[in-house]
Structure 1
Amino acid sequence: MLHHAPLLTTMAVGLVMGFALGFLAQKLRLSPIVGYLAAGLLIGPFTPGFVGDTDVAYELSEIGVILLMFGVGLHFSIKDLLAVKKVALPGAVLQMVAATALGTGVGLWLDWSLGASMLFGLALSVASTVVMLRALEDKQLLDTRAGHIAVGWLIVEDLAMVIALVVIPVLASDAGGAGAIAGELAWTIVRVAVFVALMLVVGKRAIPWLLAKVADTGSRELFTISILAIAMGVAVGAAYLFDVSFALGAFFAGMIMRESDLSHRAAEDSLPLRDAFSVLFFVSVGMLVDWHVVIEAPLALLVTTLVIVVGKSAVAFGLVRALRYSKRMSLVVAAALAQIGEFSFILVTLGGDLEILSQEAQDLVLGGAILSIVINPFLFTFVSRFYREGAEDPQDQDDDATVTYTGSEHVILVGFGRVGTRTAMALWHADVPTVVIDDDENKVKALREDDREAILGSAVRSKVLRAAGIDQATTVIIAIPDPLNAGAITAKIKRLSPHVRVLTRGQNDTDVAYLTELGADRVLVGVNEVADLMAADVLDETTGTH
């Protein structure tokens, strides 16, 4: 009976096993990804017992890739990258080059072709978004300067992988000579450029417009379906019309959707399905792992793992130190990058499809990924302890010094952009005690130099809000323009300190409803406030009360 429903059976067993082993991994203080990969290993063709349908698993993994990349695009932030561009951009590029070179050396040592060795090295060079963010959050390092650098570094790596997914199939084609390959590469660049231009010109208008129209119907079901239809439709349409990867199409669909005023709802409504198919993606990758590699090539597996855990982290540590950052900041960045994950899996799957990577190479990457993800929490335990205790180096004492506001009856201002700056100036002019929270280290440093109270970090985190004195504050003003983040911050504030009055800003009536539902006491919408002021000015003039 089960053989007549391979899709249903593979999904059901994959989700059940993924849940059980992911829950066990979580209890063992490991990343749930380890459990998902182990689940795939147990239902794969290389272990006894039930064997999932590999063709179905491959199709499910494609959906997983689309939704993973859609999520990356939906949360892609140029601002986060620009804040640490001086270290993240050169550091990430040089580290990827060095790690790729190390991996290439391992491949050549194993008598693989140069192309296979380079792709193997590239797969070892990029860290996992999921694993890194989880590790930084668990050790409360996400809102430190080192955490910001690590996240910016990761954004550069993600962008590099998006480009690689476009270029690799062209370089792997048997086009007949360097000239033919160059021509094919140029034609690919033209197709991608046309697709990107179409998304930026047409998609940037059409997608937000469509979301707004669907939202006006008041149907949550239709809105959720519209998000998935856009993500899947753009990804598949890009592949068929422009011959670019599903991943690239999904990334741009998410990035364009971020421009919509309804991006916060899009992120929230699509999250459950994105999470579910992410699990199936990791399970399907685990099904590809042949555990016999541990017995047949233990030395190669050990060397691969050392490249990931020791080689990459050593290069990252040296680069951050060379850019004049402290030892403990360098250690945090190094530990954050000492693992590989989802992009590595996408690359090895692509390499297998293009017949570049052998089964042995794929097994080594997947085995090295599992071992590095298992090792990473233990590595972070040591690094975070060293980071918190500080070091004898005076430079270390100055970096990310913990600042806590000890006053009371004050205002907390989240975000020091144009609106936040103007608000803060008015409050300071009226001698209102005000504490600024911002995740831009340069702004926080400048404020502290002006003897203003400022906390570095994201206000969505309890630790940061407590450092700003949330328990003793009277009002929190959320001046950031992103309704999704403002909503998350509002909800966290109301959980920590329900009595605090929360003022925030929105773009339209949808934002007002969304933020009010999460606990905001007042939501200011620019056009409404301007209209009220104009009417008040005319009435004052008419009645002579001015």
Structure 2
Amino acid sequence: MLIFELMIILVATKLAGDLAARLGQPSVLGKLLIGLILGPSVLGWIENTDVLSEISQIGVILLMFIAGLETDLKEFKRSGKAGALVGLGGIVVPLGLGWLSGLAIGLDTLEAIFLGLLLSATSVSITVQSLREMGQLNTREGNTLMSAAVIDDVVVVILLAFLLGFAGGDVNLPLLIGKKIAFFLIAILVGWKAVPWLLQKFVPLRVTEAVVTMALALCFLFAWFAELTGVAAIIGAYIAGVAISQTKQKAEVMHKTETIAYSIFVPVFFTSIGVMTEIQGIGGNWWLVVVLSIIAVLTKWGGSGVGAKLAGFSTPSSLAVGAGMVSRGEVALIIAAIGLEAGLLDNSLFAVLVVVVLVTTVLTPPLLKMTFPKQQ
């Protein structure tokens, strides 16, 4: 069954992506929508299985690894202050209005704060693909988005740990913060010193694709270590890509990783987002989906956009940066699952939020297309 599903996914995503491109939209939009059509909400041809989920996870890791390979490290460093303002702006506004919205629909204080935290999450994996298609990933705006995503991930997870502690979860906050600091210190040190040395050692090996194999192994190692320390795996993969981008093997790794990723793993990732969404579980809560979707889009867009404006971006660029932070993607889905397990969400609200996450993810590519400054 898995083999047949993979065949459907690979063919359908390429055709849907081509159709979206012909209609003047990023191809990723078509790939996202075809997942919804193929999934249980419409045709039911693809099931959300554990195996498919794991393949999807590899897809998003490789996508962010490639984004790291394309990053201009000097520009990324220059974007640090702007990234902080964009990331924090994209947390404060959704958190505040999400909390008020939760109180308005009858949630208690902790549940309402959790809703605000979930709406504060960001996943730039979809944004990365859209910017690559538009040739805008390695720009000031693109590097600011990547920097903001790292800051957003760390701050939201720490705030989530605080909340779980208040809700009765067994959370050692100093340990949690310490693990995150340790991750970044170790990842940066290993990326700076060990990664170039390891890749160079694999160059003379008399086996096929030794360098690319080592590069992928490092990508997965960094992603695993990130998850182990409570940081999103995509951040680890991105750092691994940045590290390898500074080596002589960058071009070879980039070319061959793109072939591997975009042939099978990335299409599965795009499709799985729609497959995970079961519209039938919403029941009579469509009005809540609409309201929370509007809040989710406008608060992140506005909050991050204001942060970009404060960092010195023009108004069009600020709108574009804000749009790039709108997608909640797999990060918000993970947080929603944590909330369900901790009793901070009930099943009906969980189903609503899954659809809200899908809405923000699907809207991000056309928003970027509409707002991003044209390439000079």
Fold conserved (TM > 0.5)? Answer: yes
> How far did 1:159 drift?
1.3
Aligned-partner SS, 2:210: helix
Residue in structure 2 matched with residue 350 of structure 1 by the alignment: 334
Residue in structure 2 matched with residue 106 of structure 1 by the alignment: 101
Q: Of 363, 371, 374, which residue of structure 2 is paired with 1:371?
A: 363
Higher strand share: 1
Residue in structure 2 matched with residue 187 of structure 1 by the alignment: 175
Question: TM-score, with normalisation over the residues of structure 2?
Answer: 0.79
Contact 1:211 1:226 in 2 (8 A): yes
Provide, for residues 192-219 of structure 1, a one-character-per-residue CA deviation record: whole Å limited to 9, x for no partner.
4444444444554433222112222365
Mapped partners of 1:192, 1:311: distance in 2: 27
Q: In the alignment, does 2:132 pair up with 1:153?
A: no
Q: Of 134, 140, 163, which residue of structure 1 is paired with 2:154?
A: 163
Q: Summarize the Cα distance change of 1:54–1:213 in structure 2 as closer, same or farther, 3 Å threshold.
A: same
Q: Summarize the Cα distance change of 1:362–1:20 in structure 2 as closer, same or farther, 3 Å threshold.
A: same
Superposition map of 1:139-538 within 5 A: 148=140, 150-164=141-155, 167=158, 170-171=161-162, 173=164, 181=171, 184-202=172-190, 204-217=192-205, 221-236=209-224, 239=227, 245-275=232-262, 276-292=264-280, 296-307=284-295, 309-315=297-303, 318=306, 329-338=314-323, 344-356=328-340, 358-377=350-369, 379-380=370-371
Amino acid at match of 2:331: L
Provide, for residues 4-60 of structure 1, a one-character-per-residue CA deviation record: whole Å limited to 9, x for no partner.
xx3x23322222221121111111111222212222212222223423242222212
Aligned-partner SS, 2:200: helix
Q: Summarize the Cα distance change of 1:371–1:110 in structure 2 as closer, same or farther, 3 Å threshold.
A: farther
Amino acid at match of 1:24: L
Contact 2:48 2:275 in 1 (8 A): no
Provide, for residues 375-408 of structure 1, a one-character-per-residue CA deviation record: whole Å limited to 9, x for no partner.
553x33xx86xx9xxxxxxxxxxxxxxxxxxxxx
Mapped partners of 1:303, 1:124: distance in 2: 19
Mapped partners of 1:204, 1:124: distance in 2: 27
Aligned-partner SS, 1:337: helix
Residue in structure 1 matched with residue 119 of structure 2 by the alignment: 121
> How far did 1:161 drift?
3.6
Mapped partners of 1:194, 1:313: distance in 2: 31
Q: In the alignment, does 2:19 pair up with 1:24?
A: yes
Superposition map of 1:82-93 within 5 A: 82-84=77-79, 87-93=82-88
Question: TM-score, with normalisation over the residues of structure 1?
Answer: 0.57
> How far did 1:166 drift?
5.1
Q: In the alignment, does 2:16 pair up with 1:50?
A: no
Once the two structures are overlaid, the 10-residue window that deviates more, 45-54 or 231-240, is: 231-240
Provide, for residues 456-489 of structure 1, a one-character-per-residue CA deviation record: whole Å limited to 9, x for no partner.
xxxxx8x6xxxxxxxxxxxxxxxxxxxxxxxxxx
Provide, for residues 49-77 of structure 1, a one-character-per-residue CA deviation record: whole Å limited to 9, x for no partner.
42324222221222123223333443444
Structure 1 alignment gaps of length 5 or more? 388-460, 464-546
Contact 1:25 1:31 in 2 (8 A): yes
Amino acid at match of 1:153: T
Aligned-partner SS, 1:48: coil
Q: Summarize the Cα distance change of 1:197–1:91 in structure 2 as closer, same or farther, 3 Å threshold.
A: closer
Structure 2 alignment gaps of length 5 or more? none
Number of aligned residue pairs: give it. Answer: 364
Contact 2:91 2:120 in 1 (8 A): yes
Aligned-partner SS, 1:354: helix
Higher helix share: 2
Give identity over the alignment, percent: 23
Aligned-partner SS, 2:238: helix
Amino acid at match of 2:127: T
> How far did 1:119 drift?
2.6
Q: Summarize the Cα distance change of 1:368–1:210 in structure 2 as closer, same or farther, 3 Å threshold.
A: closer
Q: Summarize the Cα distance change of 1:246–1:128 in structure 2 as closer, same or farther, 3 Å threshold.
A: closer
Mapped partners of 1:100, 1:126: distance in 2: 18
Superposition RMSD in Å:
3.7
